[in-house]
Amino acid sequence: MCLSIPAEVLSIDGDMAEVSVGGTMYNASIRLVEDVDVGDFILIHSGYGIAKIDEAEANDTLNLMQEIKKKAERS
C-alpha cells in the first residue's frame, strides 16, 4: 500500500517545489503534475508530486492524519 501526503506549494524552481506539510518543509519534484502554482496543494509520495488536489480535500486529509496521530499517542 502506498501513502501520499497533501502538501502546500510554497515556491517553485523549475521542476522542483518547496512544499509544506503541517509546517514541515520538503522538496518535491513536480514533473508529474501539470499547472502547479505557488499556493496549490499537491499529493506527494516519495519526493514526487503526483496530483493536484483542492485545499478543502488537503485540509480534511491532514486533519484526519492528526486525529490518527493523537489516538496512537494515547494507546
Query: In this structure, are strands 24-29 and 41-45 parallel, antiparallel, or unpaired?
Result: unpaired
Q: Output phi, psi for 46, to 5 deg.
A: 55, 40
Q: How confident is the model at residue 74 (pLDDT cuts 50, 70, 90)?
A: confident
Its CATH architecture, for the domain 5-74, is Roll (2.30)
Q: How many Å apart are CA 14 and CA 57, to the nearest integer?
A: 26
13-46 tens-digit pLDDT: 999 999 999 899 999 999 999 999 999 999 999 9
Q: How confident is the model at residue 68 (pLDDT cuts 50, 70, 90)?
A: very high
Q: Contact 45/6 with Cβ under 8 angstroms?
A: no
Q: Contact 34/40 with Cβ under 8 angstroms?
A: no
Place of cell 499517542: 73
CA 16 to chain centre: 14
